[in-house]
Each structure stands twice: as C-alpha cells, then as structure tokens.
Amino acid sequence: MGPPSIEEGIEHAGRGTPPTARSAVARLKVRSVVTLLVAVCLSMSAIVIWEAWNSRQYHLRDKEVAMSNLAQTLASQAQATIKQADTLLFSLVERLEYEPLDAVGLAHLERLLSAQRSELRQLHGLFVYDETGRWVANSNGAVMPDANNADREYFIFHRDHPDRGPHIGPSIKSRSSGEWIMTVSRRINHADGRFAGVVLATIYLDHFLSLYDSIDMGRNGVINLITDDARIVVRRPFKESEVGTSIAKGPLFQQLLPTGDAGTATVKSMVDGVERVVGFRRVDGYPLIVFAALNKDEVLAGWREVSLLSAAIVAVLLGFIGVLGYRLIGLMKRQNRVQNDLLDAQDKLLEVNRGLKLLALEDALTGLSNRRQFDLFIHAEMDRARRVQSGLAILMIDVDHFKPFNDQYGHVAGDECLRRISAIITQHIECPGGLAARYGGEEFAVVLPGTDYVGAFLLGENIRHAVLQAGICHSGRADGVVTVSLGVAAFDPASQAQPDDLIHAADKALYVAKASGRNMSVIAN
C-alpha cells in the first residue's frame, strides 16, 4: 500500500471531530487549492511574458547586428568599386598634364580608355573634357562633335574649385546612352595651375542594384547609397523619382550620423514612413554613406507567430490544470510536480544550449577557429601579455583576387582553395599556444603569443612563399597562381592598446600590401 491520500488523512484527522471542524478543514483545503491555482497561473503567465519580451529584444538586436555587418560589407564594396575608377582617373590626369595630346596621342588615348573600361565591368565609360566642356576623348567610341558637358554638376564643381581630389556627383542619366550612372571625376590643370578640363568615370547604378537586389531584405527592406549632403545616389527598391532626393531632415542625418560614422537603430523612414531596423556606415575615403534596413514588422513577424502559439499553448494548459485542479485535489500536487520538472528541464535545456554555443567555435569550411573563437582568444592573450610583459603579434592574411578566382572556377574550387591555404597556415604555426582563425570570407588571422613583429614577419613570409609554391592555378593572375598578402602588427605590453587597435593596425598593413601590388608582407608602423 502506498502513503495515505490527502482525503484519507483528512478523514483520519476528522474522526471524532465535530462537523464544524471538518468544514473548516474542507474550506482550508479549497482555499489552499485556489491559492495554488492562482500562484501557478500567475507564475506561468509571468514566465511566458518575460520570455516573449526577451525573445522580442533578441530578434531586434540580432537584426541590428546583421544590418550593421551588411552595411560594413556594402561600404567596403562601394569603396573598392569607386577606388578602382578613381585610380584610373588619377593616372589619366597625370598623363594628360605631362604629355602633349596630338592626333596620334588622342587615338592612343581613346584606345587606352576603351581597354581600361573593358577591364572594369562596373564602368559605364571614361571621358575627357576640355576647359570649355567640349568632349575630347571617351572610352565608348561615341562621336558627338557638338556635345558639351559644361552644364554638368561635376564640371562646374571642378571649374570653380581648385581641389585636386576626387569628386562624386549626384546620379544622372548619361547623355550618350540614357542609362543611370554615378559620376567620379578629377580636375585637370594647365602647367600654370589654371583649369584645363575634367576627367570623368561613370559607374552603372545597375552595378550596385544587381548586388543589392541579390540580398534578401524581405518585402519592404531597403538599401541606400547616400552622399554626405544627404542625397540618394541609389536606392533598393529602385525608383527613378527617388534618385537625388534629399533626406537631410530624416533620422539618419538628424539623429544617427551626429553620434558616429557607423551604428544601428530602429527608426521611421522619412521617404515612406515605414519603421525599420537599420545599420549604417560611412564609406572610407569617399563622401558616401551605406544604409541598410529591414522592416520592423517583418523582423517581428516570426516572433509574433511563436509568441501567439506559446500563449495559446499556455492558455490551454492553464485551463486544463484549472479544471482538473478543482475536480481532483490529489492530481493537483502531481501536476505541480510535473510543471516544476518541466521548468527545470527547460532551464537545463537552455544551459545545454548555451554550452553548445560556446563549443561552436570552429569554422566548418576550413577547420580553423572561427571569428568568435578568435575574438575570445586575442582578448585573453592580450590581457596575459600585459600581465607578464611578454610579446604578442598578429598576422592578417588575405587571398589575392579571390572573387575573380571564384567567378572563374566556381565556389567549389574556391572552397577547396581556402581549405588548402588554411592547411598551409596551420602547418607553419610553430608558436606554442598560437591560434589560426578564419576571420571572414577569404581573410585569415593568426595570433602569435610571445612573438615580436620580426618573428611574425618571418612566419608570414614563410606562409606567403608556401602558398606561392603550392601552385594553386589562377589563370586570372599575371603569375598564374593564387597568392596571399599579409599585414603584420605587434603588441607593446607597456601600451594601452586594445585588441581592436592591434587588429586595425594589422589590417591597415594588409591594405598597404594589397595596394602596393599584393603577394607581399607589410609590417604595421
């Protein structure tokens, strides 16, 4: 026989007692059951509300981080696209200012412009105008003897401003082809410094739109490329009427940009009045801002469905518990134990999930550590190096011309290329406690505890030579094989530098290596 039931206990206690005492016991039992039901219902409702609120905040924060990362990526893409065009313009200005332009030279110049345009698919054209705005040469073979561009914004700007840097004008329709383009221009001077004309590179807006349209932004998400004077260069979804629209009074320029060059927020658009989760970032070196945003209602749509389903399930469960509780007191205690077990299991499941997240520190493609593990490791090693006053160095490694490699050989070959380079990096890390990680895309990072910049540079050179000797075929490169560029930086324990400072220094050195011709190692200053 099992332990006596509550009813048996009450009956046993009630033998020989007056009816009033038994009634009091019954009322006490009913009040206890009602109190328990109310407590359970309130507790479960509070848990559901709390979890729903936390889930909502997590959804919003997760999308803010995603938009920030997307804005950073798109800003880098825009900077690279414009930098390529601007580099051509800089070379062209040097040529025009120091070499006379006769008939033979003009023909050669147009052939050169045409060849350069064909190398960069984003270019609509390259143009040269004299000091009156008359067409001198162009890459498109257009013959327009009476054409004059003296009324264009970029021509007026360079004519009235002696600044020799690049100028990005508003989006316009090309007079030669009727297509929407972005303009990047530079001023040409006579030997005495007088205005001699303008060189112009025009970039297809479709170049940006094709990338923006390939990104899943939901039904009502937007991506904007905006000038510093608050005018829209290109917007996804594309509407011609919105090109050149000023959003100076919108939240981006009124609230967000005054606080920093990059960030996230949830704001309402002044263009269409839609509230969105946004990420924004300035484009390095150029007066442009990238703005990416998802519709807040779409972000929370999945959360609403899950929350409503959870609320419905909890409501049914509470009703079921309430009915059975009023009818079966004995089952109520058992039901409470089940509820407690479920809550304990839920907490344990959450704890297990947190543990699994901490274990997920390996990049699935290359087998190296992933970005999360890299961040944890470099913070810990920098703290240790500062405590024990030891050296710490970092290598930033980037595969040269990886996108053309992917385009030519396909993503499968691209993945195999990354795996081979990862294996080479791993083989060369002899530093005890060193860590190699896939930093992102085709970029890798190596943290070297107890190493100075000389040792790190020598190791980087070994890795670079090993990749070169691996002979991974890349017909798009001049030397026919895949190469890597490296940036090297070292940490001074006596400084107040932070991990981001060390990474930034190595990244700048990597940028110098790539800008200087690639396939080299550069030590940060």
Output the CA angle 54-60-65, nearest 5 degrees. 120
Q: Which of 421, 426, 469, 461 is nearest to 441 (CA)?
A: 421
How far apart are the C-alpha atoms of 210 and 222, rounded to whole Å? Answer: 14
Predicted local confidence at residue 419, as pLDDT: 94
First to last CA, the chain: 84
Please name the helix (run of DSSP H) or strand (run of DSSP E) that holds residue 475, with its range, or none.
Answer: none
Of the candidates 237, 261, 235, 236, the one whose C-alpha atom is nearest the C-alpha of residue 246 is 235
Dist. CA 158–CA 161, nearest whole Å: 5
Return all residues near 490 (Cβ < 8 A) that are at least 6 apart: 391, 392, 393, 394, 451, 452, 453, 456, 524
CA distance 267 to 319: 40
Instruction: Say whether 114 sits in a helix, a strand or coil.
Output: helix
Residue type present at position 339:
Q
> Which residues of the chain are under the pLDDT cut of 70?
1-27, 29-30, 103, 326, 328-341, 343-344, 354-360
Angle between helices 19-98 and 296-327 (to 10 degrees): 170
Distances (CA, A) of 58 to 62, 283, 348: 6, 28, 20
Residue with tokens 């848990």: 47
**Position of tokens 């030669």?**
176
Q: Is 512 helix (H, G, I), strand (E, B) or coil?
A: helix
For residue 443, the model assigns a pLDDT of 95
In 10 A of CB 34, how many CB atoms? Answer: 12
Which pLDDT belongs to residue 2?
Answer: 39
Tens digit of pLDDT for each residue in 455-495? 999 999 999 999 999 999 988 777 889 999 999 999 988 88
Task: Please report the pLDDT score of residue 184 as a whole number.
Answer: 93
Q: What structural domains and CATH numbers belong to the chain?
A: 6-51+299-356 (no CATH), 52-296 (3.30.450.20), 371-523 (3.30.70.270)
User: How far is the C-alpha of 439 from the C-alpha of 446, rounded, in Å?
Assistant: 9
Residue keyed to tokens 């082809």 = 177
**The pTM of the whole model exceeds 0.85:** no
Decide: 232 and 250 in contact? Cβ < 8 Å: no
Can you give the pLDDT at residue 384?
93
38-49 per-position pLDDT tens digit: 888 888 888 888
